[in-house]
């Protein structure tokens, strides 16, 4: 780094030079003296003045250089302190931001856990909205029964249900009421259906056994059709179920209608790992929905 002589040092050098010059002018008179002793003394003094002036200038330059070095060192130290202060401030700001993010994330996670816990508690209190599904259960090589499964992670409350043997139901007598709605003979429907007692509670991943009306032994290749009616959460569900014995296993398919005030809200086919393939559901279940609720004596 280049050394710069400041204005004060320059002023001191000029002052030394002027002082030396004045001394030379004053000594000129002595140099013109005719006395040899005075002349020698003047020459000696001039030499001393030159040496002192030179030494003074050298001292000023050295002092200026040393002062400049000290200033440069001080400036470098100040710059380092400023840089360290900047880094420290950025580190503190970064740590504050990270800490703030951690606190915010922790608060967000806590809020999510509280919401999840509240939803879980609400779900346990109010129960599931997912409709339980009717399933066939094979008890032996030739006998089977039914069950209603709750596949939800929440309990199901207040289930009202009855089930009808659809194959036998098709053999009943039918008529129409005054509103031209299709009605079935009450005596016949009583003989082909079972009404279940109310299920006040069906736990998570639990099932309730249903005695099937008029079951018959099932052999390889045999089929059966049942209709399961379920009142749940203010809605009525009609589950049309078909079973068939294939390779000594009972396969099943279910089509489900969700209705409210005799109006179909939606319908879907339940999914299973190994479901029975049905090409035409309307052909398998030709009767209109809702005929089994009303009963008519002929």
Give Cβ neighbours of residue 210 (< 8 Å, ≥ 6 apart): 134, 145, 146, 147, 148, 161, 163, 194, 196, 228
pLDDT along the chain (298 residues), means of 10: 53 62 59 59 68 70 69 78 80 74 77 71 72 89 87 89 92 76 80 88 87 88 93 91 92 93 89 87 89 49
Per-residue confidence (pLDDT) for residue 128, from 0 to 100? 85
Q: In terms of DSSP bridges, do strands 295-296 and 193-195 run parallel, antiparallel, or are they unpaired?
A: unpaired
Per-residue confidence (pLDDT) for residue 79, from 0 to 100? 80
Q: What is the DSSP string of 134-201?
A: EEEEE-SSS-EEEEEE--SSS-EEEEEEEEEEHHHHTTS-EEE-TT--EEEEHHHHHHHEEEPPPEEE
Q: What is the DSSP string of 66-108?
A: HHHHHHHHHHHHHHHHHHHHHHHHHHHHHHHHHHHHHHHHHHH
pTM of this prediction exceeds 0.85:
no
């Amino acid at each position: 780094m280049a050394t710069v002589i400041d204005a004060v040092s320059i002023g001191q050098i000029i002052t030394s030079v002027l002082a030396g010059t004045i001394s030379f002018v004053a000594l000129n008179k002595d140099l013109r003296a005719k006395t040899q002793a005075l002349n020698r003394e003047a020459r000696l003094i001039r030499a001393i003045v030159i040496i002192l002036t030179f030494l003074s200038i050298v001292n000023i330059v050295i002092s200026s250089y040393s002062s400049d070095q000290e200033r440069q060192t001080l400036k470098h130290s100040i710059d380092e302190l400023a840089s360290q202060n900047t880094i420290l401030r950025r580190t503190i700001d970064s740590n504050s931001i990270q800490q703030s993010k951690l606190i915010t994330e922790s608060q967000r996670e806590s809020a999510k856990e509280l919401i999840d816990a509240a939803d879980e508690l609400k779900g346990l209190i109010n129960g599931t909205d997912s409709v339980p599904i009717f399933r066939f259960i094979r008890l032996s090589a030739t006998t089977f029964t039914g069950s209603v499964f709750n596949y939800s992670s929440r309990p199901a409350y207040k289930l009202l249900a009855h089930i009808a043997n659809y194959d036998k139901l098709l053999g009943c007598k039918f008529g129409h009421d005054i509103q031209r709605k299709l009605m079935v003979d009450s005596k016949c429907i009583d003989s082909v259906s079972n009404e279940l007692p109310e299920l006040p509670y069906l736990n998570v991943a639990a099932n309730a056994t249903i005695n099937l009306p008029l079951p018959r032994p099932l052999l390889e290749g045999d089929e059966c059709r049942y209709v399961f009616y379920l009142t749940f959460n203010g809605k009525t569900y009609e589950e049309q179920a078909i079973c068939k014995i294939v390779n000594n296993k009972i396969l099943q398919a279910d089509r489900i209608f969700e209705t409210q005030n005799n109006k179909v809200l939606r319908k879907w086919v339940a999914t299973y790992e190994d479901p029975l393939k049905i090409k035409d559901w309307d052909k398998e279940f030709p009767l209109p929905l809702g005929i089994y609720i009303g009963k008519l004596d002929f």
